[in-house]
Amino acid sequence: MGTGDHFGLGGHLGLGGNLGTGGHPDRMPDVLNPLVTAAASGPAYDVLVALHVVTVVVGTGGLAVTSGYLVAGAARARRHQPLTPALARFFGPRPGWAPRLLYPAAALGLAAAGLSHDQVRLRAAWVWSAAVLWFGAAACIEAGMRPAEREVGRLVAEGTGATESGPALRRGVYSAAAALALALAASAVMVVKP
């Protein structure tokens, strides 16, 4: 069998053939791209991708937990009930750090794409779309959710009632919901790669 027949390396069903290659006989089948990416990119790429995934998973998880506490606090404030001890502790002087892990997600993803030996092209629209979504989520956290958490924490420390913390809790809920929606959209863009 030569390299030009139907079953050899250059044929229609072989590694260099047209099956799964988008019609390009000199291109590797799409199913093998992840294997090539892992082999060709090196340890720096692997570390950046691992850090990117950790920041996305832990950051999004922390954002979801914080959103739950904000919703629970807002619901109690709406009913003019005091915050439970668990809610009061959550909004205490020590701010939650987990949602802030989303901040470097875009930078780590862009750095990994730059080291991927063109397996992920930096000029691809999905790469920049995901980065913009990550930056948007970080902006919602920093500009809306974190100030609301700090205000609720200050009110809890002063012993103020639930009614006074209601507006801050609602602002926090809206900001956290926007940040969570943007983070989930960014994750979807990264997985689907439209």
pTM exceeds 0.95 for this model: no
Domain contains 8: no
Segments in the chain forming alpha helices (H):
33-78, 85-90, 105-114, 125-140, 146-158, 162-192
Number of neighbours of residue 6 by Cβ within 10 angstroms: 11
Q: Containing domain of residue 80, as a range?
A: 40-192
Residue 20 inside a domain? The answer is: no
pLDDT confidence bin for 10, thresholds 50/70/90? very low
Chain CA centroid to CA 94, Å: 24
- Residue 96 belongs to some domain of the structure: yes
- pLDDT tens sequence across 141-158: 999 999 998 888 888 888
Residue 94 maps to a domain? yes
Model pLDDT for residues 62-100, shown as the tens digit of each residue: 999 999 999 999 999 899 888 888 888 888 777 678 888
Q: Does residue 4 sit within a domain?
A: no
Q: Is residue 73, in this structure, part of any structural domain at all? A: yes
Domain count, the chain: 1
Q: Say how far apart CA 188 and CA 153 lie, in whole Å.
A: 33
169 closest CA partner among 73, 59, 37, 27: 73
On whether residue 34 sits in a domain, the answer given is no
> Is there a domain that residue 62 lies in?
yes
